[in-house]
Amino acid sequence: MVRICKGRQAGMTLIEVLIALLILVITLFGAGAVQLNALKYTASALKSTQASFIGYSMLDRMRANSTGDYRISGLGQIRPAATDVINQDLNEFKRSIHQFAGDSARAAIALNGGQVSITLQWDDVRAVGKPSALGVFSLSSNLVAEAAAKAS
């Protein structure tokens, strides 16, 4: 005689286990995607922070030597063997940029009266995912008012 038990079921069915496993896999893939994006944007933020440090360092050098002409439209204009203070500052600026962003980085320093503008550009493909993506940091300051404040 066969008994059919209509009481409580003990344990889990195979379908329940498969559904729980599917939910776990989907959750792990989602967490992995979030982690990859976090790494990507952290690297981009690091580049922006380094560009900021380099730009402000150059601005401080210009403030220290406010009578110098630091204008450049590209890193190729900097003379490597020059010994004067301005060219030493510019060579340090160029070396810092190449260390942080490689040979594809570009920089410009513009002076208009007492207003200085420092612009740095670098390849930011990793963060944006497009082949021609550029990271840009721009800094503007007024050197004339600071020089006048020092004199008084």
The residue among 148 and 72 whose pLDDT is bigger is: 72
Report the percent of the chain where pLDDT is more than 90. Answer: 30
Measured between alpha carbons, how far is 53 from 59 in angstroms, rounded to an integer? 10
Q: Which amino acid, one-letter code, is at 11?
A: G
pLDDT of residue 149 exceeding 60: no
Measured between alpha carbons, how far is 116 from 151 in angstroms, rounded to an integer? 19
Q: Which amino acid, one-letter code, is at 98?
A: H
Q: 99, 125, 97: which is closest to 40 by C-alpha?
A: 125
